[in-house]
A and B are shown apart, each in its own frame.
Chain A
Amino acid sequence: MNRRLPVNFIIGAVLVALVVGTAALSLVWTPHDATQLTISNKFAAPSSTHWLGTDQLGRDVLSQLMAGARNSMAVALVAVLLGGSVGVALGLLASAIGGWVEDGVMRLADLGFAFPALLFAIMLAAVFGPSLTNAVLAIAFINIPVFARVTRGAANQVWTYDYVLASRAAGLNRFAISRDHILPNIAAAIIVQATIEFAVAILAEAALSYLGLGAQPPASSWGRILSEAQTLMYIAPQLAIYPGLCIVVAVVGFGLLGDGLRDMSDPRLSRER
């Protein structure tokens, strides 16, 4: 048996470790205070004190990027956990009960696809004002139908297995079977989806913060740093490069990790692709 890990898994894991490690490190240490302004030291070139230089307000760029990593990871984690939990619960419910409940949940999921996170965030921002909480809610919302579909599809398959039929015959109720037998057996598919959705959430958070619908000043966010850098492109183009690279590294990392996990859980797929 070939036990070698897929290449995409290895590269993904390294990139994710880099981003998550940086985010974790920023909880206890950043080279400087990410929000500290030193106007006299604005647009400083990279040096031993400021490894990536400073921005238009003299803030240390590396420290801001590290704080941005932390916020980006936190938003993605909360949004995917929130949307994922609701979606998985709905998917399990639809699969366990079937009939009109299943139809209803799936139609609701279809409806969810009509609202990209951006539209939902726009509505929330128009009514309640822009905030990071609204951005998290919008990203969580788009995750619900994705997880509901994946869960229901995978669960429907497990419901046909003999041991599930046996537990039904033994008198276990549908909810207990869902919790004890279905969920553990579809966990792999859900984890793969969560990893991929993590990448989508990072992109969505960056876009929302860039548009002013997510993180508000002084909170650091890769998207918000980019929106500030846009007005300075003629003076300090480097400020627009770093945050974008961070986003790409994080998204590619989680995307590859998800692909790799899927290849490992179902080797047939890796040959197809």
Chain B
Amino acid sequence: MGYFIFRRTVGFLLTLLVVSAVVFAVMNVLPGDPALTILGMDATDDALAALREQLGLNQPVLTRYFLWIWNALQGDFGISHSFRVPVSELIAERLPMTVSLAVAGMLFTLVIALTLGIGAAARHRKAGDWGVMFMSQIGIAVPAFWLSMLLVLLFAVKLRWLPPGGFAGWSDPVAAIRSLILPTIALGVVQSAVLARVTRSSALEVMRQDFVRTARASGLSRRRVLWRHVLPNALVPIVTIVGMQFAALVTGTIVIENVFYLPGLGRLIFQSIANRDLPTVQALVMLFAAIVVTANFVVDLLYVVIDPRLKART
């Protein structure tokens, strides 16, 4: 098992390194002059030369790459061109917003999907099962940004129960939670639809096994068998998907923050594109990609915790 964890950790670090190389390559090496991108076509040659010097663009590419990695490891992502402050400061300010939204979305997804998925499996081929499957088919197909707009139309424009967007911070917790309700639902519905399906099919698989019949025959209630015996045994495929879903939720915040005007990293990335602020975009893309890779790594490690049978094989 120690070897398994070691191998996975090395793989994880290598993947991060290659991801960083890809991000750096796309942002720096592909044809195109970052200085020209930032200053625009009207820039004078002197201004371009000065900016190239300031950005270190005159140094060899490899030197720039390793400098970027070295500094990033120490929390230094350079200075934002548009905000004129360190990128790490911008990230620190906006990270809590994005994390709150992603965690709320994940909790929403888990509660809804596990309940519906196990419920559907318990009512296999009955109305409840078909209902859940139908809803999940629609849920998968609905774009999150459109769902957001529909939620705003209903709950903010028509009923006026919740704010249509914006976030004033946690100083007023009630207002903060109210502003997060619609974004959380919009973010979580698609993932719930996917997870409910996986939970259902995984639970159905387990319910066919002998130990479930034995548990029922020994007099345990249906509910107890479902939640205490079926669910824990159905967890491996569920955890795989949950790991990928957390990654999808985090990148999903990029869209949702822009729909609801929430001041998180997703909104920052778009402001930075509009302002041609390449160091900020580069840092944020790397951060999001790193979260995706880390989520997959954590899932790999969790397998062994959840399914002790895998220990023997690793």
A residues whose Cβ falls under 8 Å from a Cβ of B: 110-111, 113-116, 118-120, 122-128, 130, 199, 203, 206-207, 210-212, 223, 226, 229-230, 233-234, 237, 240-241, 243-244, 247-248, 251-252, 255-256, 272-273
Say yes or no: is B30 at the interface (Cβ < 8 Å to chain A).
yes
Selected A-B contacts with CB under 8 Å, 16 pairs: A111-B18, A114-B289, A114-B296, A115-B289, A123-B23, A126-B278, A126-B281, A203-B143, A233-B152, A247-B143, A247-B146, A248-B141, A248-B142, A251-B140, A256-B137, A272-B201
> What are the 6 closest A-B residue pairs judged by CB atoms, nearest first?
A244-B146, A251-B141, A126-B281, A252-B141, A123-B26, A116-B251
Interface of A is mostly: helix
**For the complex, what is the distance from the CA of A206 to the CA of B141, rounded to whole Å?**
12
Give chain A residues whose Cβ lies under 8 Å from the Cβ of B140: 251, 255
Whether B153 and A211, one on each chain, are in contact in the complex, defined by CB atoms closer than 8 angstroms, is: no
Q: Which of B15, B23, B149, B276 contacts A226 (CB 8 A)?
A: B149
Whether B272 and A210, one on each chain, are in contact in the complex, defined by CB atoms closer than 8 angstroms, is: no
Interface of B is mostly: helix
Count residues on chain B whose CB falls below 8 Å from chain A CBs: 49
**For the complex, what is the distance from the CA of A234 to the CA of B158, rounded to whole Å?**
9
**For the complex, what is the distance from the CA of A120 to the CA of B201, rounded to whole Å?**
32
Whether A123 and B285, one on each chain, are in contact in the complex, defined by CB atoms closer than 8 angstroms, is: yes
Whether A119 and B15, one on each chain, are in contact in the complex, defined by CB atoms closer than 8 angstroms, is: no
Whether A240 and B296, one on each chain, are in contact in the complex, defined by CB atoms closer than 8 angstroms, is: no
B147-167: contact bitstring with A at CB < 8 Å (1 yes, 0 no)? 001101100010000000000
Closest CB-CB distance, A103 to chain B, in whole Å?
11
Q: Which of B32, B285, B296 contacts A122 (CB 8 A)?
A: B285
Which of A127, A230, A243 has the most chain B CB atoms closer than 10 A to its own CB? A127
Closest CB-CB distance, A156 to chain B, in whole Å?
20
Q: A118-B254, A251-B141 are in contact. Are A237 and B157 (CB under 8 A)?
A: yes
Whether B157 and A207, one on each chain, are in contact in the complex, defined by CB atoms closer than 8 angstroms, is: no
Q: Which of B32, B201, B289 contacts A273 (CB 8 A)?
A: B201
- Which residues of chain B from 48 to 90 have any CB-CB distance to chain A below 8 Å in the complex? none
Whether A126 and B27, one on each chain, are in contact in the complex, defined by CB atoms closer than 8 angstroms, is: yes
Closest CB-CB distance, B236 to chain A, in whole Å?
16
Q: Which of B26, B149, B205, B248 contacts A233 (CB 8 A)?
A: B149
Whether B145 and A199, one on each chain, are in contact in the complex, defined by CB atoms closer than 8 angstroms, is: no
Give chain B residues whose Cβ lies under 8 Å from the Cβ of A118: 251, 254-255
